[in-house]
Amino acid sequence: MRSIRLVIAIVVITTAPARADDCENDGIGISMFDARQAVEPAHDNALHIDVAVRAIGITWGACEGLRHKVELSAFEAPDLGIADGNFWNLGRYQLEWHARDWSAYAGLRTITMWSHDVRVLTPVVGVRVLPTADLALAASIESGGVFAWSRASATRQLRGDVEIELVAAYPASAATRGELRARWRDYTIDEMRSIRDVTFTAGLGFALVARNGPRHATRGIPGFVGLALRENHDQSAIMIVTELAYAVTTD
């Protein structure tokens, strides 16, 4: 029953008339969860699944100007089932600046459980631009190699333990849109194991409700389905990618 109520609330928020002098739903975004999985069809008697989940986040503030975002937790497993190859984040705060045709953010993840290590205050940064009314380009960097403190006294590194992602969406404010993505990861699990891969993804983004308001676009319960090519240690894999966010967001 609560799930039905939340869906109704999201639809009401995203379909309410927009005010000409303000932005949609006062710049508030709510997310109960955001899940992504990429599955490689079994070819070696094993099913390889790349999973990422974010849980409970809220964004608030001015639609054009300063905005805040907090997130409770996040989990990533580049190959679900591999022992000690999972990464957890507990608590995240980011400060955002939104303008009509661009936005940028910088933030910190409070605690990151990096395989065997625990790291405190790891950074995230990103930017999104709209070169045209229909095209959106975004770039983000999430680092586990830069931190304030490490339980294992790990060495800080700018180019290691990092994820960089580039995204293009067209038409950006439509309920159904084409998306191209490129992601580079370089994770060290321990002295013997590491994850270094590049993934190219193409597919369709969709939303239960999407509205292009006078200043910003609002999307309710957005998702994605597509195909990905992952290159990892001289090995290639074709993966089926699906995403779903139980959320309402304002771009």
Q: Which of 202, 200, 198 is nearest to 184 (CA)?
A: 198
Q: CATH second-level architecture of 2-250?
A: Beta Barrel (2.40)
Cis amide bond preceding 171, omega within 30: yes
| pLDDT greater at residue 54 or residue 64 | 54
Per-residue pLDDT of 167-214, as tens digits, reads 999 998 899 999 999 999 999 887 777 889 999 999 999 999 887 654
pLDDT band for position 114 (cuts 50, 70, 90): confident
The pTM is what? 0.87
Q: pLDDT > 90: what percent of the chain?
A: 57
Poorest-pLDDT segment among 82-86, 90-94, 153-157: 82-86
Interatomic CA distance for residues 110 and 107, integer angstroms: 10
Per-residue pLDDT of 62-82, as tens digits, reads 878 899 999 999 999 888 767
Q: Can you give the pLDDT at residue 12?
A: 44
Beta bridge partners of 145: none
What φ, ψ does residue 145 adopt, rounded to 5°? Answer: -90, -10
- The pLDDT of 34-41, averaged and rounded, is 91
Residue 52 · residue 201 · CB < 8 Å? no
Which residue type does 17 have? P
Average pLDDT, the chain: 85
pLDDT band for position 11 (cuts 50, 70, 90): very low
What φ, ψ does residue 135 adopt, rounded to 5°? Answer: -110, 130
Q: pLDDT > 70: what percent of the chain?
A: 84
Q: Which of 219, 161, 215, 156 is nearest to 10 (CA)?
A: 219
Q: How far is CA 146 from CA 27, 43, 141, 143, 177, in A?
A: 31, 37, 12, 6, 35
Q: Which of 106, 107, 113 is nearest to 90 (CA)?
A: 113
- The pLDDT of 150-158, averaged and rounded, is 91
- The pLDDT of 15-26, averaged and rounded, is 48
Q: Check whether 23 has a pLDDT greater than 60.
A: no
Interatomic CA distance for residues 144 and 72, integer angstroms: 17
